[in-house]
Structure 1
Amino acid sequence: MSYNMVIAGAGGIAQAVGLLLSEWSNVPIRIFIGNRRLEKAEMVAKWIGEGTTDPLVAQAFCLSDRGLTKEMEEIFEQGDVLLDCLPGSLAPKMAGYAKKYGLHYVNLTEYVAETNEIMALAKNAETGFVLQSGLAPGYIDILAHYLYQEFCRKYHVDKVDKLQFKVGALTDHAVAPHYYGFTWSPVGVATEYMKDAEAVRDFKKVPLKSLSERARIIIDGRTYEEDLTSGGAADLPDALAGKVRHLDYKTLRYPGHYAWVQQQIEGLANGDKAIGTLQEKMETEIPHMEQDQIVLYAAVEGKDSHDVLRRSEVSKLIRPQKVGKHRLRAIQATTAAPMVQAAFMLLESDRKGVVLQSQIDPKPFLNGSFIAAVYGEIP
């Protein structure tokens, strides 16, 4: 048995996906790397090949933004899975290719409108479409859902008071006035700050304005600020409405960052133009940094069958790690691992149509070989 894996994109996450596939797959694979700039795809293909313990040649191709080419058609016809590492605005287009050529499809985007478009497109597909499969949305939602299920099983209840889950992609150090450094896409950061979040309040799904519920939290003895941001809750507000009184996803930052962001967005209207303006303002003052860490936290709280208030928590701090001959940043490894795990889940099952985070059996997924190597196992 062997698989042909088509990776769309040639950025940092695409690099990590290719390296994890090359280094950790227990079956033979062939990798195709596509990007609109062929030379960038060739650079990533070479980087992956140079980083593997056993020699592997990834094939680069031009992923034209002007429509299908003969080369694209030939590669899609050979492919088993399309792993979409492109910007979220292009996700429906890539999903359309996957459906047309009968590939499984996995993406990362937190964009809500594009996710809804793909859900409609893939409703009756003959292959599986795992959406929002990275870190947040992605791993953190499956972890939160697992905690909810385990809490209900252990304490013999079917409803809980709170389900809270949070992630921060942070630098090791932070300086005034912004207390931040870019470790991933600036447009992604600006988008999650400006678009509305989805949450559950009093058992009902509701939209909430991002950056509207700031608070401090101590995780493993270290103080952070948390606030609502868009996209990270995935489909849990739909899946758990009526079962959880209070559910939300929040992004973790160092104290002081959100106050600075609030100053930057004063006077900006909502919309894509405002997102671009905020991105420009942030990139003027905030540096891009290589040294990073991922902080994540999830908790469930409620009363057990004897009316005793209980709380279960999980926290993790993940740092850069070496894979093969290369060192991956924490954001690369933690985003790529769930994506690759989702791809193998589809290849090894008969899942068809859209697969959302709440529809994934959490324990075997969280303890899958790719995820466990990055995040550690869940007991």
Structure 2
Amino acid sequence: MGHKIVIAGAGGIASAVGLIIAEWAEGTPQLFIGNRTLDKAQQVAQWIKDGVTKPCEVKAFLLSENETTSEMESVFREGDILLDCLPGSLAPRMAGYAKEYGMHYVNLTEYVAETKEIMALAKDAETGFILQSGLAPGYIDVLAHHLFLEFCKANKVDKVDSLEFKVGALTHHAVAPHYYGFTWSPIGVATEYIKEAETLRNYKIKQRPSLSERATIIIDGIAYEEDLTSGGAADLPNALEGKVGNLDYKTLRHPGHYAWVDHQIKGMEKDDDTIATLQRVMGEAIPHIEDDQIVLYAAVEGKDSKGILRRNEVAKKIYPQKVGKHTLKAIQTTTAVPMVEAAYHLLTTKSKGLILQSQLDPLPFLNGKFVTPVYGEIEE
């Protein structure tokens, strides 16, 4: 028998996480899909069963919003790990369940305040907690940290001028006036556009307004716009303070999109509902599109021990991919596999306490069993 894995949520990422585990993991893991709507959890459980090419065990359960039911207690006692695919506002509650019932825990959220709350909760836990382990934050931070470490080793230095890393979840085509299509959560997009970004400027941590440092970047001959957004830097500003002159995470978009967003925000009153208002405005104007692509880029720049300025770069484009009998969107696979890789790291090493993105051993993670089929290998 395989591990007993509890997945909180029944959306697109939770579905992908379940399918990837069921199809790619060794043995026969037992999956528990929990959602506030039991019908949705049951639909996802059946979708996973229909999509795998080998035996799997999947059970749906009701994940109550208001209480801890006897069914939830039974599942949590049986589970080895809780994979939190719910909105970030619910993450502290899910992490609390993991600690209370002795499960490992992995989440995806870019929400900063909730992450800090879980960090305090997890520091003395008897099980392992890996936070922000999706695409951005997640894979892109591990890749950026790897570039930093390799640059310092190869060039015999301990500081660099800049470390930049960027991700775009994009459509293949973009039309006026918004030049965008939703490929993932609208509330996630609105949140990262409004909340502040954490950066390094002149080797020190500095909060910067999102959408305040726009620039153009050309990747594989195609021009994109980049700008600061919240959450994607994970813990790298803290881990690399004093070692990197300028560090930031930026989101990639097709040219013209950010100008449209600026125009929408300028017409709003700044209050506690700004995120919800922006989400509503975008939802009324921007369509959801299934055929997506992920564009990512990371680079480190600095002088070597002889004073020569050098720059190392990695760029990737990732498209929808078939897993088992289902085809998953690029945003699904690229978000799900880092979470699954993190989960199996905890299950196989039996780690305890808090593990942040900068504390993962980069190369084994980047070339892991679940990550490599989606992202490809990273050379040493």
Tell me the matched-pair count. 379
Distance 1:59 1:29 in 2: 11
The Cα offsets for residues 88-121 of structure 1, whole Å up to 9 and x where unpaired, read as 0000000000000000000000000000010111
The Cα offsets for residues 121-143 of structure 1, whole Å up to 9 and x where unpaired, read as 11100000000000000000000
Distance 1:201 1:271 in 2: 28
Letter of the 2:60 counterpart: A
1:280-299 residue pairs with structure 2 within 5 A? 280-299=280-299
The aligned counterpart of 2:180 is 180
Bigger shift: 270-279 or 160-169? 270-279
Distance 1:320 1:304 in 2: 39
Q: Does 1:125 align with 2:125?
A: yes
Letter of the 2:253 counterpart: R
Distance 1:311 1:271 in 2: 42
Question: CA 1:176–1:267 in structure 2 vs 1: closer, same or farther (change >3 Å)?
Answer: closer
The Cα offsets for residues 277-296 of structure 1, whole Å up to 9 and x where unpaired, read as 00111011100010000000
Contact 2:174–2:254 (8 Å) recurs in 1: yes
Distance 1:298 1:278 in 2: 29
Distance 2:124 2:290 in 1: 42
Percent of residue pairs bearing the same amino acid type: 68
The aligned counterpart of 2:259 is 259
The Cα offsets for residues 58-102 of structure 1, whole Å up to 9 and x where unpaired, read as 100000011100010010000001000000000000000000000
> CA offset at residue 56 of structure 1?
2.0
The Cα offsets for residues 287-337 of structure 1, whole Å up to 9 and x where unpaired, read as 001000000000000000000000000000000000000000000000000
Query: How high is the TM-score relative to the length of structure 2?
Result: 0.99
Q: Does 1:151 align with 2:151?
A: yes
Runs of 4+ in 1 over 2 A off after TM superposition: 267-272
Letter of the 1:161 counterpart: D
Q: Does 1:4 align with 2:1?
A: no
Letter of the 2:65 counterpart: D
Q: Does 1:14 align with 2:11?
A: no
List runs of 5+ in structure 1 lacking aligned partners.
none
Three-state SS of the structure 2 residue aligned to 1:177 is: coil
> CA offset at residue 55 of structure 1?
3.1
Letter of the 1:134 counterpart: G
The aligned counterpart of 2:138 is 138
The CA RMSD over aligned residues, in Å, is: 0.8
The aligned counterpart of 1:247 is 247
Distance 2:248 2:214 in 1: 12
1:270-309 residue pairs with structure 2 within 5 A? 270-309=270-309
Three-state SS of the structure 2 residue aligned to 1:54 is: coil
Contact 1:138–1:338 (8 Å) recurs in 2: yes
> CA offset at residue 28 of structure 1?
2.4
List runs of 5+ in structure 2 lacking aligned partners.
none
> CA offset at residue 350 of structure 1?
3.2
The aligned counterpart of 2:222 is 222
Contact 2:131–2:356 (8 Å) recurs in 1: yes
Three-state SS of the structure 2 residue aligned to 1:67 is: coil
Query: How high is the TM-score relative to the length of structure 1?
Result: 0.99
The aligned counterpart of 1:68 is 68
Three-state SS of the structure 2 residue aligned to 1:348 is: helix
The Cα offsets for residues 26-60 of structure 1, whole Å up to 9 and x where unpaired, read as 13210000001000000000000000001323100
Contact 1:45–1:57 (8 Å) recurs in 2: no
Q: Does 1:201 align with 2:209?
A: no
> CA offset at residue 267 of structure 1?
4.3
> CA offset at residue 206 of structure 1?
0.5
Distance 1:144 1:155 in 2: 16
> CA offset at residue 2 of structure 1?
2.1
Three-state SS of the structure 1 residue aligned to 2:53 is: coil
Distance 2:147 2:302 in 1: 12
Contact 1:129–1:354 (8 Å) recurs in 2: yes
Distance 1:371 1:291 in 2: 21
Three-state SS of the structure 2 residue aligned to 1:327 is: strand
Distance 2:367 2:67 in 1: 39
Three-state SS of the structure 1 residue aligned to 2:299 is: strand
Contact 1:33–1:60 (8 Å) recurs in 2: yes
Letter of the 1:51 counterpart: G
